[in-house]
Amino acid sequence: MSSSFSGDETAPFFGFLGAAAALVFSCMGAAYGTAKSGVGVASMGVMRPELVMKSIVPVVMAGVLGIYGLIIAVIISTGINPKAKSYYLFDGYAHLSSGLACGLAGLSAGMAIGIVGDAGVRANAQQPKLFVGMILILIFAEALALYGLIVVGSSKFIFDHLEYGCFSAFIWWLLCTCCRIKKGFLADDKACESFHLSTAVLCRLGLCVCDPIH
Amino acid sequence: MAGSTSSWSRALVQISPYTFAAIGIAIAIGVSVLGAAWGIYITGSSLIGAAIKAPRITSKNLISVIFCEAVAIYGVIVAIILQTKLESVPSSVMYAPEALRAGYAIFASGIIVGFANLVCGICVGIIGSSCALSDAQNSSLFVKILVIEIFGSALGLFGVIVGIIMSGQITWPSNAA
């Protein structure tokens, strides 16, 4: 049995802890963002109930952070297979660093999204022109989580899993389409159109890159 | 010689995989229940206080308490699944690499489920408390804030999904080694 197991014995400890860190810290960020924005929405909704559904955007963006953590945790934990592929301490430490990078970036992005979402929805209730500004700041905060994903991507394994990047671009494109179909949700302004177009372009580019590899 | 690759390895190979497994299972159930309890007391105290002037909200807002309780159920389910994966192996193979990996997998699975359910429980509790307070003032808000609560409870499900995927890695060496 030991002949089919190649690599260092304790390397899976660090690998599994990397997967744990990715999910747990991303979930902490998502929970903070959801709770803080949710309190703001509930407080604001007492005075302006018609704005509540429009103000759920920070909550959705915080939820996406949990999905980033989930994807990275699953990729890491299915990559630890010492019987199929030798798993040395190098691989274990690489997985640990990837998980920590993604997780802590998600935690910080979640905290930013929570505080900005809370202030933003309360301000939007008093001054409707602030909606686009709040969305732009939330997108910058969400990009922090993407920085963590980029570092993870420059580790060895995401080049084998580029289709996950395509998939998340596709999900964002789907969300945008659904929002624009319900006309009253995100009125047709330039920021929304450009975001929609960029997700479509990213998805198409990703597919072009994936096809030659596989 | 096992564990000669680094100082961390030399320390880790001395610890039985059953230590890690048992602690992992305990964290899965214990920390999940902590999260559920935290959420329930946050929601419950706000609910009772808000219901003084608006008693109609009591029965509807118990659903927030049930969302928090579900987090504890997730912890129970995963802890039972991890317990069934514990096998007894003879001491000759107890420190074999495959046994060590199984122990680490149970430990990490328990941490994932426990702490994801902890933060989920607190999140759902805070939103449930806001839901009760805003429902007391305007009853049309209940369903809208419940949507936010559903987003929050998805986080516990993420933890359970990853915990169960990772539990597929738990294979102990067979007795004939």
Instruction: Measure CB to CB from residue A27 to each of B3, B116, B140 and give the nearest one.
Output: B116
Chain A residues within an 8 Å CB radius of B138: 45-46, 49
Instruction: Give the mean model confidence (pLDDT) for residues B101-127.
Output: 96
- In angstroms, how far is CA B143 from the centroid of its own chain? 26
The answer to whether B115 and B34 have CB atoms below 8 angstroms apart is no
Looking at chain A, which residue has its C-alpha nearest residue B137? A46
* pLDDT at position B141 over 80: yes
Interface test with B, best of A27, A59, A83, A88 (most B CBs within 10 A): A27
A-to-B residue pairs, Cβ atoms closer than 8 angstroms: 173
In the block, tokens 């804030």 appear at: B145
Band (A162; pLDDT cuts 50, 70, 90) = low
Rounded distance between C-alpha atoms, residue B159 and residue B73, angstroms: 13
Q: By CB neighbour count within 10 A (0-12 exposed, 13-18 middle, 19+ buried), where does B2 fall?
A: middle
Question: What residue of A is the nearest CA neighbor of B162?
Answer: A74
Q: Write the CB contacts of B77 (distance below 8 Å, at least 6 apart in sequence).
A: B160
pLDDT of residue B56: 94
DSSP annotation of B174 reads P
3-state DSSP of chain A:
CHHHCCECCCHHHHHHHHHHHHHHHHHHHHHHHHHHHHHHHHHHHHHCHHHCCHHHHHHHHHHHHHHHHHHHHHHHHHHCCCCCCCECHHHHHHHHHHHHHHHHHHHHHHHHHHHHHHHHHHHHHHCHHHHHHHHHHHHHHHHHHHHHHHHHHHCCCHHHHHHHHHHHHHHHHHHHHHHHHCCCCCCCCHHHHHHHHHHHHHHHHHHHHHHHHC
The answer to whether the CB atoms of A10 and B120 lie below 8 A apart is no
Tell me the nearest-neighbour CA distance from A134 into chain B, angstroms: 18
Residue A154 has pLDDT above 80, yes or no: no
| Rounded-to-integer distance, Cα A207 and Cα A7, Å | 34
pLDDT band, residue B176 (cuts 50/70/90) = low
Q: What is the pLDDT of residue A2?
A: 39
Cβ proximity of A71 and A158 under 8 Å? no
Chain A residue whose CA is closest to B135: A46
Nearest CA-CA distance, residue B92 and chain A, Å: 12
Q: What pTM did the predictor assign?
A: 0.83
Contact A69 B158 (CB under 8 A): yes
Smallest CA–CA distance, residue A212 to chain B, in Å, is 30
How far from the centroid of its chain's Cα atoms is residue A46's Cα? 30
Structure confidence at residue A86 as a pLDDT band (50, 70, 90): confident
B6 pLDDT above the threshold of 80:
no
Nearest CA in chain A to B118: A28
pLDDT tens, position by position, A22-35: 999 999 999 999 99
B3: nearest CA partner in chain A: A9
Q: What is the mean pLDDT of residues A14-19?
A: 94
Report pLDDT for B177.
Answer: 47
What's the mean per-residue pLDDT of chain B?
92
Residue with tokens 């604001």: A44
pLDDT of B100 over the 80 cut: yes
Average pLDDT on A159-174 reads 62
Enter the DSSP assignment of B50.
H
Taking the CA of residue A69 and the nearest CA in chain B, the distance in Å comes to 9
- Residue of A2, A10, A45 with shortest CB distance to B9: A10
The answer to whether A65 and A110 have CB atoms below 8 angstroms apart is yes
Question: B-chain residues within 8 Å CB-CB of A53?
Answer: 144
Which of A1, A43, A47 is the best residue to mutate to test the B interface, defined by the most B CB atoms within 10 Å of its own CB? A1
Q: Closest CB to B97: pick one of A2, A63, A66.
A: A2
CB contact under 8 A, A77 and B9: no
Q: Are residues A9 and B3, on separate chains, in Cβ contact within 8 Å?
A: yes
Owner of token pair 């660093």: A97
Contact A8 B5 (CB under 8 A): yes
Residue A211 has pLDDT above 70, yes or no: no
Contact assignment for B166 to A30 by CB distance below 8 Å? no
Q: Residue B54: pLDDT above 80?
A: yes
CB contacts, 8 Å: A52 with chain B = 141, 144-145
Return the closest-CA partner of residue B132 out of B77, B51, B73, B66.
B51
